[in-house]
Every structure is written in structure tokens, then in C-alpha cells.
Amino acid sequence: MKITFLDGSMKEFNQGANALEIASGISSTLAKKSICAKINGVLWDILRPIEQDATLELITKDRPEAQEVLNHSCSHLLASAVKKLYPQACFGVGPAIEEGFYYDINPGEGIKFTEEDFVKIEKEMKHIAASDMEFKRIEVSKEEALRLFKEDKYKVEIISELPEGDIITCYEHAGFRDLCRGPHVASTKWLKFCKLLAVSGAYWRGDSKNEQLQRIYGTCFFTEEELNQHLENLKEREARDHRKLGRELELFMLSEYGPGFPFWLPKGMILRKQLEDYWYKVHTREGYQFIQTPIMLNKELWEISGHWANYRENMYTSEIDKHEFAIKPMNCPGGMLVYKHSLHSYKDFPLKVGELGLVHRHEASGALNGLFRVRNFTQDDAHIFMRPDQIVAEVGSLIQLFEEVYSVFNLSYHIELSTRPEQKYIGSIEIWDKAEAALADACRSVGREYKVNPGDGAFYGPKLDFKLRDSMNRIWQCGTIQLDMNLPERFDLTYIDENGEKQRPVMLHRALFGSIERFIGVIIEHFGGAFPTWLAPVQVKLIPVSNEHHLEYVKKLNDLLFREEIRGEIDDREEKLGYKIREAQTKKIPYQIVCGDHEVTDNLITYRKYGSSQTTTVTMAEFVAMIKQEIKTMGR
């Protein structure tokens, strides 16, 4: 058979040769680094025979796909260890996830996993890993699969839903067999550097009507150094938890009287307003107009939009004058009414309409998580109406805007193009293909690469999702650009073209932050609460050495800062100077000014930046000029 490599070269091998044998024929070093392969673009076990001519790409340890295969294999290792220790256990699913894996498990009647159990489970995992057991791929019929997994009701349920006649794949190692498409690492020897991290409840198939299983999370790396570094990162992330910092920095609070409904405290309101002011500033520059739509609207509107049929269980409702109303879970239908309020010409396009709109969604109580998952939040929405020929230019312009804004927060990102779902979608395949091509062309037009996320588009159109990477190397889904082929039709939106004819506009939904609440949660953790000066609720902490001799001077300085629109705060408590300085550091305030006899006598200030022990003495005018420049440039 002929094997074609990525560089276009071709070589003949015996039919049935596997990727490891082919790699060994090229270089023994390459073979040692290779974890799996791609055969004709499809991930493939490195020991799985290749039976016909194919293109081959070897996936080495430094590739993201290799890390994913490693973690998925380790989920099987976890399951095999649990089965050895708890023979009655049954297993749900065990996928790789960002930076690790999990497995949903029913350990048996009356057994509840705790983190104390991790010691013995990890010990068994490492014993199996050290045994260097091969992951063997087995193909069986549906009938045979049902027989093999007859003792595991979850696997039986999955197998029963597969089409008749399908070949089903299983993987076996150390006497443990699991239902799986693969691929996996060649042997358990690759799984030595693993760690179990947490356990939580998880409904079978994510449905609260089903029984709750126990989800064990873990992670695995190719080297001990990588694992240890990741565990150190996890400790740092725990210290940066936005719920913890939100309390310590007095930004927001949560109350049992309103689960999922955050309360913004005075300092949090300052932070939030700075973020909103920046949002308005850049959008005004980009030609957006702003609206505000009602929080509660009649049921009939939500029937037109499709939310009543498809999203009803997540909506809060009430009755007014014997009519049913719903609190909006999304801003879009209100935006459609604003568009229909007046006539529009092709000359108006692109028409950019923005709204910081408060929405409410009935999230499950178990899913609530600080500011990351709440029941009311402010979406930074915009709806952009245009002609079809404007899509590429407008989406390209949006990508550049996203780039600018994320760079202000020092957040890198990548783009994923989510395409047509396999089943539930509206519109013709031809229209979908054109829409997906337009989004792809827009990315290329501004030199941005993208990854295709097949089948993950919304039912009404494809989308670009912006995946942010923070200082702790975590990925966050925030921004999105969505092409909508549903609402313009449902609401009969039109414009008058150059020939005086009515036409249907193309519409984009886009959110840059995603939601104000969630984005604030992200940047709290990204900055570890040490916000850049322009964003910090308190920019300068003023501390008199002695209230009796220096407080009057400090008050004059604070008045000057106020006139210069710099946010200052005086600490005039009767506490020791060292204590007040340490607390200002704990509160992560960008600048501390300490005033004593020298400063008062010579009309100077002595400041120290957060995170530094160095002090600098300057005139007040010099300090104001410096900090105002820093605020103006947003620290860049």
C-alpha cells in the first residue's frame, strides 16, 4: 500500500502495517515521540493496522491532539482501577476535557466517593500504568456488544440506541473492557503521571430527571514536571477564585435570598461602570446606536421568536391584566421590534444597534457558580443588519474590534467556526453553506486563523466563537458572532433596496464580553484581583503617617485627585502604619501614597506601586501626570 506524508512524499509499506512501524522506519526518535496518528485526517491508534492507501500524519507528544488522547486514555485507566476496587461499579461516559478528563460512575449501592478515596484509586491506577498493558481495539456487532456489557445498564442504554448493523468498537486493557470509539495511547505505560482532582454529582446524560452518578475529575501529563507545574497552577487558580476575591475586595456578594442573583457592592459598581463606559466608548466610535428594551414582554412576542416553544422552561413568567408575560432571557426579540418601528433603506446599512440588556434565565441551582453561571446578567448585545454582500467586510471589522478589546485586557484568543447541526436547523443546506463560507472568508480577510467546530452552530445559523486564554492558561467562551437566518424571517424584517423593492436583511448577533457579570469574573481571576489602574475601583490609597500632623495634607491631595478624576481613598484609621500599608497591598490597590513630615514640609508625595517594595518621591503634579497617562493608555 502507498502512504503519503504531509510533505507530499510517498512510500510503499506492507498492507496492514501500523503507524508505529511506519514511524520506526523513518526515525526511532520519531517513533518514541509518536502517540497516535491521523489517517486521511482521522485520528487513529498508533498500533491499528492500515489496510489501504492513505495519507499519514504522526501525532507527537507536543501536539494538542496527543494530550487529548492521553487524558481520554487515562479516563479508561481510572475506570479500570475503580472496577478492580469496586467490582459492582457501572460506568457512564469518560471523555477528555480541557486540561484533563472525567468519568461518570455509579460505584454501587450505598457507596459515595470522597477525595479520601483518591489515594487508593490512584495507587491502583499507577500499578496498572506500571504494568505496561496494551490498549487493544476490538470490533464487535451490536448483539455482541449488548452481551459483553449486559451487567452495565448505562452502556446497554447507549448501545441500544446505535443503528442495527453498525460495527461497535471497544477497548480493553488489564482485563477491563470499555465501549469507546478511541483512539488511545498504545499502552498504559504512558499514563504514569496522573492525578485525581475532584468528585461531584452529575446526572446521567445531563438530565435532572435521570439518576445522579458520581463524576471523578483527573488529569494526566507525559512528564512529572508538566504534572507538577499544572498542580501548582491549580493552587494559584484557587487563590484567584473570583468568589473569594470578590469577597476580599468587596466587589459583589451573593445571598441565600436570591440564589444566582448577584448583588453589586460600591467598589464592584465602580469596576462595572468602568467596563461599561469603555464598551460605550469603543462602540460609539464604531458607529453603533444604543437602545434599551423592556425586561418583561408579552407571551405572544416569545411565541413569534420561538423562545416560548424552545426555551420556555428557562424563562420566568408572570400574569399582567390576565395576559401572560415573560421576563426576557435574551434581548433579540426586543431588538426586532425596535427595527420594525421604522422603515429602513439599503443606504442605512450596516445598521449597528447595541444594548447592554439585563436578562434572566432559570438555571438549575446545582449549576450556579459565582458570576460564571447566574440567573440574571447583562448581555453586551448588538444586532447588525446588512445586505448579504456586506457580511464578509462587517464580520472582518468585528473580528478586528474583538482583537482590540481583548488586547486591552491582555487576553489572547482563538476562533472556532461552528457549522450546521446535523439535525435541528432551519433553512436550506445551500444557504448554510454560503453563510459558513462567508464567516470563513471574513476570518481570512483579516488574517485570522480559525478552527472548525462541526455541527455546533445554533439552529438558526453558523457562528464564530471567541475562546479566550487567561493568565492561568484557561480557556473561556466569551465573545460570539452569529449569523441568524431565523429571526428576520419570523419577524418579517425588511428594507428597501436600490430598486425600491422590499428585501430581507441579513442579521448578525454579536456579544463581545458575552455578559458583563461573567467577563468580570474572568478578569478578576485573570488579573488575580490586581486590576490595571484604569479599571481599579480605588486607584490610589492615601495614608497619613500621623492623623494629627499629616491628615490635613492628605485630604488636600485627595481633593486634587478627585478634581483630576482619579479615584483616591484615605485610610485615616487609628492603626499602625505598617498594618495600613500591608492592607493596601492585600486590597491590590495600584498606588499607595504615604505622607509624613518630609512630604508635608516640601509639598511632595511618596508613592509605591502594588507588588513593589520600591518607593518614589515626586511632586503631586508629576504623579498626576504619570497616573493620568497610565489611565489614558490603559497601561499599554
Count of C-beta atoms within a 10 Å radius of residue 450: 17
**36, 332, 478, 595: which one is catalytic?**
332
**DSSP 8-state symbol, 1:** -
**45, 104, 117, 381: which one is catalytic?**
381
**67, 152, 194, 379: which one is catalytic?**
379
CB 595 within 8 A of CB 577: no
First-to-last alpha carbon distance for the chain, in angstroms, is 57
C-alpha 316/C-alpha 261 separation (Å) is 13
**242, 509, 541, 608: which one is catalytic?**
509
406: left (phi over 0), alpha (psi -120 to 50) or beta: alpha
Burial class (CB in 10 A: 0-12, 13-18, 19+), 170: buried
463 catalytically annotated: yes
609 catalytically annotated: no
Question: Which ranges in 184-288 belong to alpha helices (H)?
Answer: 224-239, 242-248, 266-285
**383, 510, 526, 608: which one is catalytic?**
383
DSSP helix/strand/coil, 360: strand
Count of C-beta atoms within a 10 Å radius of residue 624: 19
**177, 192, 272, 463: which one is catalytic?**
463
379 catalytically annotated: yes
Residue length of the chain: 636
137 catalytically annotated: no
Count of C-beta atoms within a 10 Å radius of residue 581: 16
DSSP helix/strand/coil, 492: coil
**Residue in the block written with cell 459565582:** 370
**192, 230, 328, 361: which one is catalytic?**
361
Backbone angles phi, psi at 459, to 5 degrees: -65, -20
The separation between CA 231 and the C-alpha centre of its own chain, rounded to angstroms, equals 20
332 catalytically annotated: yes
Residue 29 cell numbers, joined: 526518535
Residues that are catalytic: 332, 361, 379, 381, 383, 463, 509
